[in-house]
Structure 1
Amino acid sequence: MSQHSNRITFGMIGLLLVVSILFLLKGQAQPADNQAPARYQVTDSAGRQVEIPRRPQRVIVLNASNLELFYAVGGTVVGRPTTEALPEAVKAAVRQVPAIGITPNPNIEQIVALRPDLILGVNMPFHHNLIPVLNKAGIPILLQALENYQQIIDTLHFYGELTGQPEQAAAVIAGIEARYETVVKNTKNHPAPKVVIVWGSPESFHMATARSFTGDLVKRLGAVNVADAGDHSGGQMGYVPLSMEYVAKQNPDKIFLITHSPDEKTNGKIRNDLVNHPAWRGLKAVATNQVHLLPYNLFAVNPGTQVGEALTVLAGFLYPEVTQP
């Protein structure tokens, strides 16, 4: 082969090597996230298939519990509910974020004006009613249920993926589960008290079943909830109407009261009205002063990452002989 041919051959090889190197560098420059679609489908708690961004950038949360969980795993929002039912750290973090109204009645015009790429709401009729308008605006809304302990854990996992912070979510979950296991272990092999959980306001009263958040925790702690027995269980319902006579017949060891209001004066009146009702005057729980008003911030709304604290409060009332963590 001539010297001229060798130069051509070596030149072609050099060119191919340069092209190959550039191609490899280009491939390495692609972020791993580009391998996954920018949007994907999820099923929310209402059973709806919803297409959402894999990494949403402009999130609005419509209720306190989801907001607290979202912030716990590194999320930020462009709109939030008008509520005081938040831990102080979350209140401080969202103080400058526009409020879009109370959870049952958010301002839809303000929501749309904030141009969200994802809305997190609850699986309740007042948020179902927002779907037609949001669909027309091209804004996805997920309706989340937070009705028991496991749903808190699952939601933290999901929000960790949404925020791109799965490790932070895993750390938060590990802390919750460690406290949960300690409390449950401490309360095992103790006599199971019989309880009723009353959810009330001056206008109406209901009993919480195992399908409610507090009822789920009571069940996990081994107590017997009278609302889960017989015809009063409500099937798939979280709450059933309160029957004073039925409770009197069951004669529970403990009565837990949850109210709609953080106002101590109002709550004191509700408690006194129940305790002094003729049907309840002879109850074991009343006679032994075992009628407990549960903290508003831990039980009137789902406590999110504070579920360990809620569990500890309940365990302290159910098993006062056991030292709680």
Structure 2
Amino acid sequence: MKKSFFILLALSLIGITACGQTATNTTSTTNSAQAQSSSKAVTITDFANRNVAFTAAPQKIVALSNGEMDIVYALGGTLVGRPTAAGPVSIPEAKNVEQVGSTHGMDLEKVAFLSPDVVLGNNPLNTKDIPAVEGIGAKMVLTNANSIEEVMKQIQLFGQMLQKEDKAKQLNQAIEQKLKELKTNQSAVKPRVLMVYGAPGTYMAALNNSLSGSLLISAGGENIAADYPKLDNYPQYAQLNTEKIMKSNPQLILIMSHGNPEKVKDGFLKEMQQNAAWSSMDAVKNNKVEILPADLFGTNPGTKVIEALDMMNKLLQGVK
């Protein structure tokens, strides 16, 4: 009797163990299948109309400008290489990431050492770098951001590349909501604004086809330089025309720069002082010459375009 009992007990334990192993194997198989399905092959079309194929969502990413860096982190990704910056990094999580230059000058040796899956560059600035990047075994994706719509297109494209489409949609919906809010609250009379971009000794007026121009119009301002002839080398900008500026009499002058903003402002004010006509303008008389933060206006702010719109709107409200 006892012998029969122990035989039955042993058979029961064997059955339980087998079931446990089956459950473990099933769980392992399921997790593996989920991992594969969460990172599948994808082909995207970048802003240069190039098809770029990935066997899985890229994990090792290099970004050559701040906007792309911001978007990658906003989507839940990380970088192995970021744009070189003299000041504080706008993304705290990227503080210790290797700096690799910029869209104007990439350090290929550093990039090669990082062995990235993809390098995010500018169209058309980095078109010439495609062979070198592909030569180190990486892919290159080219985009640009000359309007809020193009920033949103970047978000969508990177969301597709990283297989974070839902998050990308959520980020773009927040931007769309901000644009609707600003449009609803705009007054019929729009403040007259001159947007100046440059470095000491070199100044240009931003046109409506620039990102800063897009921000200004969306926030409810009137760009007095909208009809200025564009520059051949910088089609989003125009030469400053003192006669036209005087005639338009801007109520607000906004200054943008990649470099030291205070030096840029001082240099611009000195140029204005050399021409007495500037002092008669409403913006100068009312002390409405403002420096815009470089991370929001001197370069593509990425998802922080919402902050840029809020700041622009606040500045416009200040002249009404």
Give the TM bin, normalised by the shorter chain.
Answer: 0.7 to 0.9
Q: Distance in 1 between matches of 2:106 and 2:252?
A: 37
- Select 2:302's aligned residue among 301, 304, 316: 304
C-alpha contact 1:85 1:297 (8 A) present in aligned 2: no
Q: Distance in 2 between matches of 1:216 and 1:296?
A: 16
Give aligned pairs, total: 291
Deviation at 1:238, TM superposition (A): 0.8
- Select 1:270's aligned residue among 267, 278, 297: 267
Deviation at 1:176, TM superposition (A): 3.2
Look up the match of 2:212: 214
Deviation at 1:33, TM superposition (A): 7.9
Q: Distance in 2 between matches of 1:145 and 1:119?
A: 14
Range with greater deviation from structure 2 (103-112 or 71-80): 103-112
Look up the match of 1:179: 178
Identical residues among aligned pairs (%): 27
Q: What code does the residue aligned with 2:116 have?
A: P
- Select 1:258's aligned residue among 240, 256, 259: 256
Range with greater deviation from structure 2 (144-153 or 129-138): 129-138
Give a deviation string over 1:41-85, Cα, whole Å, max 9, x none: 332222333333441122111111100111011011221121256
Deviation at 1:140, TM superposition (A): 1.3
Equivalent position SS for 2:81: coil
Q: Distance in 2 between matches of 1:35 and 1:261?
A: 45
Q: Distance in 1 between matches of 2:88 and 2:46?
A: 24
Structure 2 residue runs of 5 or longer lacking an equivalent are 1-25
User: What pairs up with 1:1-325 in 2 under 5 angstroms?
Assistant: 31=33, 38-84=40-86, 88=90, 90=91, 92-125=92-125, 127-186=126-185, 188-229=186-227, 232=229, 237-264=235-262, 266-278=263-275, 279-320=277-318
Deviation at 1:239, TM superposition (A): 0.8
Q: Distance in 2 between matches of 1:165 and 1:55?
A: 9
TM-score (norm 1): 0.79
What's the C-alpha RMSD, in Å, of the aligned pairs? 2.9
Q: What code does the residue aligned with 1:115 have?
A: S
Q: What code does the residue aligned with 1:183 have?
A: L
Equivalent position SS for 2:105: coil
Q: What code does the residue aligned with 1:286 have?
A: V
Range with greater deviation from structure 2 (289-298 or 313-322): 313-322
| Residues 1:58 and 1:303: Cα distance change in structure 2 (over 3 Å) | same
C-alpha contact 1:257 1:294 (8 A) present in aligned 2: yes
Structure 1 residue runs of 5 or longer lacking an equivalent are 1-24
Q: Distance in 1 between matches of 2:167 and 2:44?
A: 22
| Residues 1:65 and 1:251: Cα distance change in structure 2 (over 3 Å) | same
C-alpha contact 1:274 1:280 (8 A) present in aligned 2: no
Deviation at 1:240, TM superposition (A): 1.4
Q: Distance in 2 between matches of 1:148 and 1:244?
A: 26
| Residues 1:142 and 1:31: Cα distance change in structure 2 (over 3 Å) | same
| Residues 1:84 and 1:316: Cα distance change in structure 2 (over 3 Å) | same
Q: What code does the residue aligned with 1:257 have?
A: I
Deviation at 1:263, TM superposition (A): 4.7
Equivalent position SS for 1:207: strand
TM-score (norm 2): 0.80
Deviation at 1:137, TM superposition (A): 3.2
